[in-house]
Chain A
């Protein structure tokens, strides 16, 4: 129950599940991700329903999308998922310093992804693909933007966790936080895989 009775170096094997609070947090977060799945499922449905409603004279997905940038963004985000796994593995072997480094790398990859996405959106707006242009553009920006907002929130969240680990160390209170942040990061990665397929690849083939 009381996390701070443990000191560094004497952590149980899976510190995120060592306390009832930790187990509650992990289970609650799995359920939350279930709800998030419905959220993105609905956004995908709306996008699929509206993606052909481009309107006259507006840029089509085939003209807009540049797969090179999107592929780079995909590569960066998938790699960040791998680095977040390394962070959790370091946590399980109780290596705090490597864990913090892997988390920092994850955040940096997340920022790089966001940078590319902002550049991409900026570019689209210049080509006349604004939020209010058509039903296609609205549903595109809503779906991809919701995902981008999730990445942004994840970057903030993991940054705060890094600071906390620095200050408080790894214990049975902080370990579940890192673990669920890792789950969150994987989830937004999986969502991106679907966005890459449904929005960009399907957009390119028409």
Chain B
């Protein structure tokens, strides 16, 4: 039957706009996330330049508010999340021996809606002002009474559109990991990165809808005169804090768990040892995911929930230190007695461990509610969450990128430049944020535009700014590395580190379109390593060579996200005063918004009505491919 359908193949730009291949979508996530990481990093540098000396006026106070808001929002939603999805897309299906993800089309929707939301959010810079109420957008600062520009409108609508993409991406990975594992790949044989991606996806599924409701409620307040957070009409500003943090706290575990997974893979590979305490690692991951939903109010100790609530949330928060501690010791014991190779990837992974411990320790300090009244909204908090997010997540992402770069692109990143990148970024990081603990304890509040001379803040702020510039140099070194590597020949072998333990290292670099010529048979944890130890060079195939079914590329996901983008703009600008012209009738009657939604719903209709039969790659086309050989 496969011969009946013509194979649709696009090339060039159309290939990237229509792709449903998880490996290409992973690269798209990396490009887009990398771009937003640079934007957010630039915002961070501008913040640090403003703060390098007292009473500086490098940027205006209002611009400073926009910068700090957009830095946080961009880094969390548009840089960290997509870079995690980049690694998940590129690696998880390969690690479980799957030919594809469960929903390739939905996967593409996930990327394009995230991208449309991210672009929309950043359009605000050129449309009369970016959001300026902090990345947490607390009411009433974010209500129409106190925020009269369109900035916060861009925030609520941009994040809603991006959130759709994250949510469907999470569902896709849950189903992929549950249903698409190769024969023999039981749950307790799954690589640690797959496990952490699995738990992260579950957290996405249960956390993001809460954010969607919070953002919708704020959108109704802002655009349709609702009263959720409007105290004059009975609304409740604390409600926003609850909704935001019920999403927001799981979000930090959504971010850090995949980094834990990367660190586990990298340390195990470059110690040439099985991961110490695999089962306890899985248990700890699940427990962290579960507890992550129980602790949101520790962000609100000073809101006034009362001593009982504060005590309970304080204890629940401290409990999380237990499974996290288990992980730290497991990584140390994995290295213990191993023959460690200090590749760049492993440097980032080893550097991660003490850094994350420091972030964890300040986390426990902040969890003590009475002490938190001192730390709250000071630079101590800023130092803490940068230690766990930059020192945790970003070091993990760098480790993952250096480790899996050959599997994604077929080329090894340069190790010398990589080590330069590590040392500048790592030293720069500690220089920037270590001193901020003390700034906080000395009383410097976060989110201030400037500070007075003679408070003892001057030197520490100067050091912090120098550190930030050093981190910038490290990032530039990474970009340079990427460019230099792209110019080199594509010659990475299947198992370029020679110590690969998991299934992604059994196939060519980069992986072929269909991943596995024959689905491998998994006979244990660290499936490839097990075969190597028995002297075999390849996996045992679980099926004969046959035609491979592939999904068709489609432009619909891209068009759907364009529709949402247009609808978002239409809703935002519906209330303005445009006189009586054609624009007034289009915008004031929500015609542009409805037009945008119609595009998206129309694409859903087309997708439902026209079945995608996909196409088959026949065995004779596969001839000569390297397949599953090592």
Measured CB to CB, the residues of A under 8 A from B are 1-5, 20, 23-24, 27-28, 31-32, 34-36, 38-39, 41-43, 45-46, 49-50, 53-55, 131-139, 142, 157, 160-161, 164, 168, 173, 177
| Contact A20 B179, CB 8 Å, known A28-B102, A134-B233, A135-B227 | yes
Decide: B103 and A43 in contact? CB cutoff 8 A: no
A157: chain B residues within 8 A (beta carbon): 608
Smallest CB gap from B611: residue in A: A173
B234 touches A54 (CB 8 A): yes
What residues on B are CB-neighbors of A142 within 8 Å? 216-217, 220, 226, 228
The answer to whether the Cβ of B365 comes within 8 Å of any Cβ in the partner chain is: no
Known contacts being A27-B175, A28-B172, A42-B209, is A135 close to B220, with CB within 8 Å? no
Listed by A's residue number, 19 A-B pairs whose Cβ atoms lie within 8 Å are A1-B549, A2-B2, A2-B549, A4-B613, A24-B102, A27-B179, A28-B172, A34-B205, A34-B206, A38-B207, A42-B214, A50-B236, A53-B234, A131-B224, A132-B233, A134-B227, A136-B234, A137-B227, A177-B608
Query: Is residue B243 within 8 Å, beta carbon to beta carbon, of the partner chain?
Result: yes
Question: Shortest beta-carbon distance, A6 to chain B, in Å?
Answer: 11
Contact A132 B225 (CB under 8 A): yes
- Contact flags (1/0) for B71-110 with A, using CB distance below 8 Å? 0000000000000000000000000000000110010000
What chain B residues lie within 8 Å of A46 (beta carbons)? 213, 217, 228, 239, 243
Contacts known (A46-B213, A160-B608); A23 close to B179, Cβ less than 8 A: yes
Query: For residues 179 through 220 of chain B, which have their beta carbon under 8 Å from a beta carbon of chain A?
Result: 179-180, 205-210, 212-214, 216-217, 220
Q: A24-B179, A35-B208, A50-B236 are in contact. Are A132 and B171 (CB under 8 A)?
A: no
**B487 an interface residue at 8 Å Cβ cutoff?**
no
With both chains docked as a complex, state the minimum distance between the C-beta of A128 and any C-beta of chain B, in angstroms.
14
Q: Tell me whether B102 and A164 are in contact (CB under 8 A).
A: no
Contact of A164 among B2, B230, B239, B609 (CB under 8 A): B609
Per DSSP, are chain A's interface residues mostly helix, strand or loop, or mixed?
helix
Among residues of B, the one whose C-beta sits closest to the C-beta of A3 is: B611
Among B207, B224, B226, B243: residue with most chain A CB under 10 A: B226
Asked whether, in the complex, the Cβ of A50 is within 8 Å of the Cβ of B235, the reply is yes
Cross-chain contact A42 with B243 (CB below 8 angstroms) = yes
Tell whether, in the assembled complex, residue B230 and residue A135 are in contact, meaning their CB atoms are under 8 Å apart: yes
Contact check, A138 vs B228: say whether CB atoms are below 8 A apart.
yes
User: A53: nearest residue on chain B (CB-CB)?
Assistant: B234
What is the bound-complex CA distance between A41 and B207, given in angstroms?
12
Which residue from A139, A160, A177 sits with its C-beta under 8 Å from B228?
Answer: A139
The answer to whether B167 touches A35, judged by C-beta atoms less than 8 angstroms apart, is: yes
Q: Is the CB of B210 within 8 A of A28?
A: no
Tell yes or no: B605 within 8 A of A by CB: yes
A28-B103 in contact given A5-B1, A53-B235 (Cβ < 8 Å): yes
Q: How many residues of B contact A (CB 8 A)?
A: 46
Closest to A27 in B: B175
Q: Tell whether, in the assembled complex, residue B220 and residue A138 are in contact, meaning their CB atoms are under 8 Å apart.
A: yes
Q: Which of A28, A38, A131 contacts B206 (CB 8 A)?
A: A38
Residues of B within 8 A of A (CB): 1-2, 102-103, 106, 167, 171-172, 174-175, 178-180, 205-210, 212-214, 216-217, 220-221, 224-228, 230, 233-236, 239, 242-243, 246, 549, 605, 608-609, 611, 613
Asked if B236 and A39 sit within 8 Å, CB to CB, the answer is no
| A43 touching B233, Cβ below 8 Å | no
B294 → A minimal CB distance (Å): 15
Known: A32-B171, A35-B167. A42 touches B246 (CB 8 A): yes
Measured in the bound complex, the distance between the Cα atoms of B428 and A41 in whole Å is: 44
Closest beta carbon of chain A to B243's beta carbon, Å: 6
Q: How far is the CA of A134 from the CA of B225 in the complex (A)?
A: 10
Given A35-B208, A160-B609, the answer on whether A135 and B179 have CB atoms closer than 8 Å is no
How far does the alpha carbon of A164 sit from the alpha carbon of B609 in the complex, in Å? 7
Contact with A28, one of B175, B234, B242, B609 (Cβ below 8 angstroms)? B175
Q: Is the CB of B172 within 8 A of A135?
A: no
**A28, B1: Cα distance in complex, Å:** 27
| A142 to B226 Cα, complex, angstroms | 9
Within the complex, the shortest CB–CB distance from B4 to chain A, in Å, comes to: 10
Q: How far is the CB of A158 from chain B (nearest CB, A)?
A: 11
From B102, B172, B224, A132 is in contact (CB under 8 Å) with B224
Q: Is there contact, CB below 8 Å, between B236 and A49?
A: yes
A24-B103, A24-B175 are known contacts. Are A49 and B234 too (CB-CB below 8 A)? no
A136 surroundings in chain B (CB, below 8 A)? 234
A155 and B301 alpha carbons, distance in the complex (Å): 45
Q: Which residue of B lies closest to A52 (CB)?
A: B234
The 10 closest A-B pairs by CB, nearest first: A53-B234, A135-B234, A39-B209, A132-B225, A42-B213, A38-B209, A138-B226, A24-B102, A135-B227, A135-B235
Residue of B nearest to A163 (CB): B609
Q: Give the docked Cα–Cα distance between A99 and B501 (Å).
A: 51
Task: Find chain A residues with CB under 8 A from B172 CB.
Answer: 28
Q: Could you tell me the distance between the alpha carbons of A61 and B178 in the complex, rounded to whole angstroms?
A: 46
A55 to chain B: closest residue by CB: B234
Residue of B nearest to A44 (CB): B213
Closest CB in chain B relative to A168 CB, distance in Å: 8
- The smallest beta-carbon distance between B571 and chain A, in angstroms, is 15
Within the complex, which residue of B171, B213, B221, B224 is in contact with A39, where a contact is CB–CB below 8 Å? B213
Is B228's CB under 8 angstroms from A50's CB?
Answer: yes
Q: In the assembled complex, which residues on chain A have CB atoms less than 8 Å from the CB atom of B242?
A: 45
- Contact pick for A135, options B210, B224, B228, CB 8 Å: B228
Nearest A-chain residue to B228, judged by Cβ? A138
Q: Give the distance in Å from the alpha carbon of A67 to the alpha carbon of B276 in the complex.
A: 62
In the complex, residue of chain A having the shortest beta-carbon distance to the beta carbon of B216: A142
B208: which A residues are within 8 A, CB to CB?
35
Which of A2, A28, A137, A142 has most chain B Cβ within 10 Å?
Answer: A28
Give Cα distance in the complex from A24 to B104, angstroms: 11
Closest chain A residue to B605 by CB distance? A160
Of B167, B225, B230, B234, which is in contact with the most chain A CB atoms at under 10 Å from its CB?
A: B234
Give the complex CA separation of A23 and B212 in angstroms: 27
Residues of B within 8 A of A31 (CB): 171, 174-175, 205
How far apart sit A136 and B102, CA to CA, in the bound complex (Å)? 42
B532 to chain A, nearest CB (A): 30
Known contacts being A34-B206, A164-B608, is A39 close to B212, with CB within 8 Å? yes
B233 with A55: CB separation less than 8 A: yes
| A136-B236 Cα distance, complex, nearest whole Å | 11
Q: If A4-B1, A31-B171, A34-B205 touch, does A135 touch B609 (CB 8 Å cutoff)?
A: no
